[in-house]
Structure 1
Amino acid sequence: MKYLRNQDVLHELLISFVIGIVCMVITYPFVGGYAFLFLFLALVLVGIHYYFSIKRYEQIAQLSLSLDKVLHGSAIRIDEQYEGELSILSDEISKMVIKLNEQTELLQKDKVRLTNAIADIFHQMRTPLTSINLSLTVLNDDHLSNEKALYYRRDIKKQLEKLQWLIETLLKMSKIDAKTAIFHRQEILVKDILTKAMEPFAIPMELKEQKCILNCSDEKMFVDDQWTMEAFSNLIKNAMEHTPDGGMIQLNVSENPLYTEVIVQDNGEGIPEEDIPYMFERFYKGKNAKPESVGIGLAFARMIITAQNGTISVKNHPDGGACFTVRFYKQII
C-alpha cells in the first residue's frame, strides 16, 4: 500500500479505473452483461500494470538507496542488473560511483601528500629560523667583540637568503603543480641559456678553482628562456656542490632531428646507486647531500623541464661523477 502514496501510481490507477467505467457505460447498450466482462478484463490489465509499476519503483528505490549510501561516504558498487531504461540508468550510475570512488582515493592520497609536504616545508624553514634566533640572541650580548658580531650578522644574512630562495622556489613549484605557470616558449640558442645559467656561479667556482667547460655550437631548443635557465642553474649548482676543489664541470650540447640534448657532468664522488631512483623527489636528500641542502633543486628542475615537453635522467659516469641528461623534444606541428 505504500506505493499508493506515490502520486504517479495513484494517478495511473485512477485514470485506468475511470477509463474502464467509461468504456463499460458506452458499451453496455450494445453488449449488455458482457460490459462487466470488459470491466473485469480492464481491472486485470490495471492490476498487471500496477504489479510491474511496483517492481519498477522498487528497483528505482534500490538505486536511490545506493546513491544515498554513496553520498554519505560509503564506497559501494551497484551490481544489480535491470532491463530496459533502468539497466542503462543503473550502468551509468555504476560508472559514476566507480569514478567517484577513484576520485576519493586520489583526494585522500593528495591529502596525505600535502600533509607530508607541509611537514617537510616546516622542517626546512625551521632550521634557518632557529639559526637566526640563536644569532640574534648572541648579538644581544654587550660584551661581544666586533669580529664575532660581524660573523653572526653575516650568518643571519645567509640564512635569510636561504629562506627567501626556499619560499620563492616553493611558490614557483606550486604554480607549476597548479598549471598556472606561464611558459613563453620560443626557439632559443642553447649557449645563450647555459651562459646565463653559469653566471651566478662564476665567483664560487673561482674560489674553489673549479672549471666549467661549455661544449656548444649553434644548437637550438624551443623553450621558455627564464624558466629553463633556472632549471639549468639548479643542475649546475648541484654539480658545483659535488665537485671537489680544482675539479671540472662539463656542459655538452648536441642536437638531432628529434631533440636537443644537454649533458651536465661533474667529476665528483658520484651518486650512490640506491639514491638514483629518488634524486628528483621533493625534499629527498641522498647520502652525499650537503648539510645545507634543502632537497628541492633537482625536483624543481625536473618540473620545469617536463612542463616543456622535455625529459631528464641521471646516472653515474664510467669515469666518475654524476651525469644529468636533459632532452627537449622538437615542437610537433
Structure 2
Amino acid sequence: NKLINERSEALRHEQHLRSELTQLIVHDLKSPLTVLLSGMNLLGKESLGSLTETQKRLITNLEKSGSNILNMINDLLDVERLEAGALRLQTSLTDTAVLLQKQVEEIKILASTNKQTLTFSHDRNLPQIRVDKGLVTRVFANLLSNALKFTPESGIVSVHLSRQGKQMIVEIADSGPGVPLNERERIFEKFAQVKGSERRGAGLGLTFCKMVTEAHEGSLTIGESSLGGALFRLTLPIVEEVVLTEQVTSSESGYTDWQFDTPQPNA
C-alpha cells in the first residue's frame, strides 16, 4: 500500500508539473502570436498602405494559418484544464440551431473554395438548452473544420440538428474516406494517428470536442455516414427546456427548416 501511495503521489506530481509546463509554453506562444495576428489584420485592412491583390491573398492566408495555430493553442490549454478538472462551465440557455447555423455560415467560404457542398437543416420547434456557449461554439467549429478537411473537392458535408427524447442531436456527415471501425475510439485520443486511412492526424481538436461534450454530460461518437465517409454524432442533454416561440422568420433567430448549399465558384 505504501508503494502504491508513493507511486500515485509521484504520478500526481508529474501531472501537475506537466500541466504547469504546458500553460507556460502556451502563454509564451500565445502572446507573440496575438501580436502577429493583430499586425496582419492591420495590413489586411490597408491601414498602413494599399496592397496589391496578390499581397491581399497572402495576408489572408497568413491570418488563417495564424488563427489555426491560435485555436490549437487554446485547445491544448483547455484539454489540460479539463483533464485537471480546472475548467468550469459557464452555462446559459442557448439556441443551438442559431449557434450551429452561424458556424456553418462562417465556414461556407472554405467549402466554396474547395467546391464542396455544405448543407444544414434542423427540426422545428427545438428548445433552448443550457450549455457553455463559448466552448460548444468551438466544438461545432472543430467538427465542421474536420469534416471539410477530409472531404475531397466537390464532396459533400451534411449537418443536421434534431431532438430525440431528452437529447439534442447534432449529426455531421461527410463524403470523405471515413475512419476504420477499429480506430474509431482511438481517434479521440490526444495526437492520435489513424492508420490505413487518409484521415490521419487528429491533433487535439477531436480530444477537445469529446471532453467538452462529456463535461456537458453528453456524448460524441463516430460512425459511417450514408455519404460514404464519417458521421460524427454529438448529443447534449435537454435538462432545462425552454421552447422558442419565434424560431422561424428572422435571420437573427434562425430558420425552422433551413438548408444552405455553398455557391460554387465560376469555372
TM tier, shorter chain?
Answer: 0.5 to 0.7
| Residue in structure 2 matched with residue 227 of structure 1 by the alignment | 135
**Which residue of 1 is the match for residue 217 of structure 2?**
309
Q: Secondary structure at the match of 1:193?
A: helix
* 1:253 counterpart SS class: strand
Query: How far off is 1:166 after superposition?
Result: 2.4
Structure 1 gap segments, 5+ residues each: 1-76, 78-96, 126-145
In 2 relative to 1, CA 98–158 (structure 1 residues): closer, same or farther, beyond 3 Å?
A: same
Q: How does 1:141-156 map to 2 (within 5 A)?
A: none
Are the equivalent residues in 2 in contact too, given 1:276–1:314 (CA < 8 A)?
Answer: yes
C-alpha contact 1:222 1:331 (8 A) present in aligned 2 = yes
Asked if structure 1 preserves the Cα contact closer than 8 Å seen for 2:148 and 2:157, the reply is yes
**1:84-103: CA deviation from partner (whole Å, max 9, x where unpaired):** xxxxxxxxxxxxx5873573
Cα deviation digits, residues 285-323 of structure 1 (max 9, x gap) = 224246xx5611111111111111111111122551101
Contact (CA 8 Å) 1:191, 1:218: kept in 2 or not? no
Conserved 8 A contact 2:166-2:239: no
In structure 2, distance between residues paired with 1:111 and 1:174: 10
Of structures 1 and 2, the larger Rg is shown by 1
Structure 2 counterpart of 1:276: 184
AA matched with 2:5? L
Unaligned runs of 5+ in 2: 30-51, 242-267
How well do the aligned residues superpose, as a CA RMSD in angstroms? 3.6
How far apart are 1:180 and its partner, in Å? 3.1
- Distance between the aligned counterparts of 2:176 and 2:66, measured in 1? 29
**In the alignment, which of 100, 113, 118 is matched to residue 207 of structure 1?**
113
Shift of 1:268: 1.4
Identity %: 20
Match of 2:164 among 256, 266, 269: 256
Please give the TM-score of this superposition, normalised by the length of structure 1: 0.53
Work out the CA distance in 2 between the residues paired with 1:272 and 1:254.
26
Is contact 1:248-1:266 (8 Å) kept?
Answer: yes
What is the match of residue 172 of structure 1? 78
Q: Distance in 2 between matches of 1:174 and 1:326?
A: 22
Relative to structure 1, is the Cα distance of residues 325 and 109 closer, same or farther in structure 2, using a 3 angstrom cutoff?
farther
User: Is the 1:188–1:225 contact (alpha carbons within 8 Å) kept by the matching residues of 2?
Assistant: yes
Tell me, yes or no, if structure 1 residue 242 matches structure 2 residue 147: no
- The structure with the largest strand share of the pair is 2
Higher relative contact order (CA 8 A, sep 6+): 2
Amino acid in the other structure paired with 2:137: M
Please give the alpha-carbon distance, in whole angstroms, between the structure 1 residues aligned to 2:158 and 2:56. Answer: 37
**Post-superposition offset of 1:240:** 0.5
- Once the 2 structures are TM-superposed, how far is the Cα of residue 274 of structure 1 from its aligned partner? 3.2
The superposition leaves residues 155-199 of structure 1 with CA deviations (integer Å, 9 ceiling, x where unpaired) of 766654443332222222233233333322233222111012223
Contact 2:224–2:231 at 8 Å: present in 1 too? yes
1:298 equivalent to 2:176? Answer no
Deviation readout 1:31-61 (Å, 9 max, x if unpaired): xxxxxxxxxxxxxxxxxxxxxxxxxxxxxxx
Structure 1 residue ranges, 4+ long, deviating more than 6 angstroms after superposition: 148-156
* Alpha-carbon distance in 2 for matches of 1:150, 1:262: 36
More helix, by proportion: 1
TM-score (norm 2): 0.65
